[in-house]
Amino acid sequence: MGTALLARLGRRATGMDLPALDITDRESVTEAMRIAKPSLVINCAALTDVDLCQTNPERAFLVHRDGVGHLAETGARLVTISTDHVFTKDDAPITEDAAAHPANLYGESKLSGEREALVTGRGAVIRTSWLFGNGKGLLPWLHGGLLRGGSLNVVKDQTACVTFVPHLVDAIVGIVDSGSTGVFHCVNPGPVTPLDLALTLRERVGSGAIRAVCWKDLNVPAPRPVYSALGTHGPFHLPPLEEAFEEWMESL
């Protein structure tokens, strides 16, 4: 996502990453701000390994809460990326005004970062889920495994939404340019399970085997949301799942 944002923004943006910028270190943030002198910061830094966050909560909160807090303290307008894992279970697409109930420590730490970003009244939080594009993410992983004729264990008991990175970047730039603040849900709408995606892909590639499993079968440390498909009341709408899927397939 960060790479795609830089490509889209061009000379409007300066990209900074480890080791030049460590958001968990207040002095590192201060020095980066002195060099870049930004009026706005888009925070793409995260620990996306949900199980690592569950077993190492101190690190998760250091990155997702304290890191966002350090960026917010600088006074620059802040846009930070959050997750559907701030929700656990529902039965219909979840909009921005729904009460958060984090599914795991990853979700808890990201929710704490949301609060840091919003405390000044000038920040924006963008919740998204299951990013994919440029060979990375759930869909490319499924596609690659099936294309090789492999046998995949695919989860059937988690429902969320996928997000095609180019579509997300369009939404982020729209939010930035509009000066909008608050919480936004940005996904390709259409609740789906990994199993649904795998079955659709297998029809396309004509190879591979799929074994439907539940998360409990995989013995992972972190619980996952049962249903965390995001909906929105906001003005920034991504194309539906089917359109994102076809656009991505054409790009392969």
Per-residue pLDDT of the chain (252 residues; tens, 9 = 90+): 999 999 999 999 999 999 999 999 999 999 999 999 999 999 999 999 999 999 999 999 999 999 999 999 999 999 999 999 999 998 899 999 999 999 999 999 999 999 999 998 999 999 999 999 988 999 999 999 999 998 999 999 999 999 999 999 999 999 999 999 999 999 999 999 999 999 999 999 999 999 999 999 999 999 999 999 999 999 999 999 999 999 999 998
pLDDT of residue 134: 82
pLDDT of residue 4: 96
Domain assignment of residue 157, given as a range: 2-251
Segments of 88-200 assigned E as strands: 124-128, 131-133, 136-137, 151-155, 163-164, 182-185
Q: How far is CA 195 from the centre of its chain?
A: 20
**Could you give the count of Cα atoms lying within 13 Å of 170 in the half-sphere of its Cβ?**
13
- Contact yes or no for 172/5 (Cβ under 8 A): yes
Q: Rounded distance, CA 24 to CA 22, Å?
A: 5
Q: How far is CA 238 from the centre of its chain?
A: 14
CB-based burial, 96-109: b 16+ in 10 Å, e otherwise = eebebebbbbbbbb
pLDDT of residue 91: 86
Q: Rounded distance, CA 158 to CA 246, Å?
A: 23
How many domains would you assign to the chain? Answer: 1
Give me the residue label for tokens 């997000």: 163
Q: DSSP states of 206-245 as a string?
A: ---EEEEE-HHHHT-SS---SB--B---SS--PPPHHHHH
Question: Domain holding 92: CATH number?
Answer: 3.40.50.720
Q: Which residues, in sequence order, are CB contacts of 3 under 8 Å at separation 6+?
A: 134
Q: What is the phi/psi pair of residue 109, to 5°?
A: -70, -40
**Could you give the count of Cα atoms lying within 13 Å of 182 in the half-sphere of its Cβ?**
12
Question: Which of the residues are catalytic?
Answer: 106
**Predicted structure pTM score:** 0.97
